Amino acid sequence: MGKPFLGVQILARDVEATLLRCLESTRRVADEWIVVDTGSRDRTVELARAFGAEVVQVPWEDDFSKARNAGLARARAEWVLCIDADEELTDADPAWLDVLRNTDADSFWMVIENVLGPESTDRLFHRALRLFRRRPGVAFRGRIHEEVAPSTPRSPENRGLQTCPWRIVHCGYRPEVLLHRDKARRNLHLLRLALRDRPQDPFYLYQIGVTWCQLGRLDKAARWMTRAVTLTPPGAPYRPTLFRDLGMVWLALGRFREIELTLRPELERYPDYADLHVIFADALRAQGFWEEAVDAYLRAASCPPSDQYVHSIGTNSFRPLHAAAELYLEMERWEEAERLARRAVAASPGWEPALLTLAEILVARGLADSDIVIELAPFAGKPPDRRLLVRTLAYIGADQAALDLLERNGGQPGEEEERTLRIRCLMGTGRYGEACREMEVRFHQDNPGSSRPTEEVMDFALARWAEDLPLPHRFYSHLDDRLRPVYDGLDRWMAGDIRAISKMANVIGPGRDVVCALIERAVHLHLLPTAERLTTLPWGPFGLTLAKALYREGFVYPAADRMLDLLARRELDAEGIYLLGELLYDKGHWDRAAELFEQSLALGFPHARAAAAAAAIQSAREMLEEAAAQHPEPGRFAEERDALEKAVRLLNGLGWHTRWRGRGRRNRRESTADLPLYDRQK
């Protein structure tokens, strides 16, 4: 038997669930397999030997390098490929072995694809030195995040290494895997030991920060990463990734100004790192600097593809394009929003967030639902994903168009998701009787005592009441004991038995919460008469709940009527006063809006501060326009006008104003054709 050419090295412990897949993925290119086992109690060793691997059993001594070097000492192959048991080798064409046979290089980068979630877009890529020539003196070093010495991934000379076209897919960073194996706490222990060996090593400081992030302690993660930043030399290859991870932690902590100040100089050092541009743009967006954020997103989208940096999939294409489109949508710059949204969905057909945004833009432009379907279909995958299109249409309130798509298969019921979508679209088109029948079938198919999702329970009750039908006995078998008397009393009330509620004093607390949720759901489904009937319950006041629900769902005209009545009766709370101020603001009644915002702020509603400032500046801008009209000299007041407009744009970017999405945007567009709000109040 000849000397093996490519050997695979795997460090393993209790990995019977993944080991064989890992080994099988290397079969086409390897002719030697060495599994270093550090104390498995499952079938890991048995499976490895059955595959044909040599098993080296060593005690675990809190040192990855020591264990790996034990396996390396047994290797006979000329080339070594290091892979973990929760990884698989892909794109492994055996023809590339000829490159290894004829190269003068001693090592190659390999791209690692980290699976972070179920979607194809939930991926993080980085590269590592996993393929190297076995020579005397070549060994691993470091207790954790071990490296091949003397030529290591952190060494400057490795920047010029070539990249192997084979790819490694790693599944060990999925949240459920980290939780199950307690990997993060093990890593924290090893990193502390490593830092004891090499005090103030910035790489280990950085990795401790990463580990605290995995454990959910972002405050600690930020502190350790900040220490690492101060000690990391400019030429360290991991430096750009350190700034990426610190920026993401700061985003989660809301430290947007620190991101802006820290990343500006780093973007000059790494101008082609898309992830840094996206994080920088996210921080600008959160502070209200929308125009600057759009520029930063577009710079990210212009970065070339590169495996040089750790990067998330799409950060140089569809993700920043979509984010910029969302901002243009909020600024009501429809043409620019549509152009960027189309680029985003073209770069990643079937990516739902971008498809939803494009649908919203088409609604804002006034396209008919049938035309929206035609526009969206090319971007819903190949062939188009019907469920994705239906979800998108339902999201924007195009329920009839969604039903038409669902019924193209002859009206036969599809899988669970399709049946749920069909019921919701039937509700959205007012076909409550059909929705009732389909939901009743589902309730009957379930075992008694099994629970249905809360929204389905509410939808069934609302549809029955909309049809003046009582709730069937089977309905109650899917409720817990706390909710049964509540729904029984509500059902009797909706049937006209006003005495039913008086017998329910012991469930007023949970009953009030259920009624509020039902009113909000009824408004979402356009069941406004049913919502109105629920407000007459004596547990209220529910009129305020209805007014707010109408406003949040985009029914600003009927919401205005109710809020004005509540204001006259002094029954409007701080949030309600604030929302009424928004209505006045949108109609251009700045002074009256400012008064309401100030009242809301005095009552403790925090968003009202930015809103009051925006209204005051709008009022000042209006006064400036009047002055300019009286003094029409060219350029007069131009500087002041620009300053006020910039201030308004900044305040509007702080998120103080309600932003309607999906069907709420459609509702608002259809209900605000004419809103003579201020005139009615005189």
Q: Where are the domains of the chain?
A: 6-172, 189-428, 455-681
Mean model confidence pLDDT for the chain: 90
Between these two residues, 172 and 93, which has the higher pLDDT value? 93
Which range among 55-69, 281-295, 480-494 shows the weakest confidence by mean pLDDT? 480-494
User: Residue 680: is its pLDDT beyond 50?
Assistant: no
- The widest CA-to-CA distance across the chain, in whole angstroms, is 99
Q: Average pLDDT of 427-441?
A: 90
CATH topology for 189-428 is 1.25.40
- Per DSSP, 379 falls in state G
Token pair 């900044």: residue? 650
Q: What is the mean pLDDT of residues 288-316?
A: 94
* pLDDT value, residue 505: 62
The size of the chain, in residues, is: 682
* Per-residue confidence band for 151, with pLDDT thresholds at 50, 70 and 90: low
What are the phi and psi torsion angles at 182 (to 5°)? 55, 40
Tell me whether the CATH fold assigned to 189-428 matches the one assigned to 455-681.
yes
As a whole number, mean pLDDT of residues 88-98 equals: 95
Q: What angle do CA 649, 654, 659 make, to 5 degrees?
A: 95
Q: What is the pLDDT of residue 139?
A: 95
- Supply the CATH classification number for the domain 455-681: 1.25.40
Q: What is the pLDDT of residue 679?
A: 36
Domain at 6-172, CATH homologous superfamily: Spore Coat Polysaccharide Biosynthesis Protein SpsA; Chain A (3.90.550.10)
Separation of alpha carbons 330 and 336, rounded Å: 11
d(CA 253, CA 511): 37
H or E element that contains 163: strand 163-170
What residue type is assigned to position 592 of the chain? Answer: R
In which band, very low, low, confident or very high, does the pLDDT at 676 lie, cut at 50, 70 and 90?
very low
SS3 370: helix
Rounded Cα gap, residues 527 and 529, in angstroms: 6
Say what the alpha-carbon torsion angle 485, 487, 492, 496 is, to the nearest 10 degrees.
140
Query: What 3-state DSSP class applies to 55?
Result: strand
Contact 373, 393 (CB under 8 A): yes
- Name the residue with higher pLDDT: 505 or 270: 270
Instruction: For residues 209-213, give the mean pLDDT.
Output: 95
Pick from 198-212, 434-448, 593-607: least confident: 434-448
pLDDT tens figures, 462-515: 999 999 999 998 888 888 888 888 898 899 989 988 777 776 666 677 788 999
Residues 52, 122 contacting (CB under 8 angstroms): no
Q: What percent of the chain has pLDDT over 90?
A: 71
pLDDT for residue 381: 84
pLDDT at 678 over 70: no
Residue 134's pLDDT is what? 95
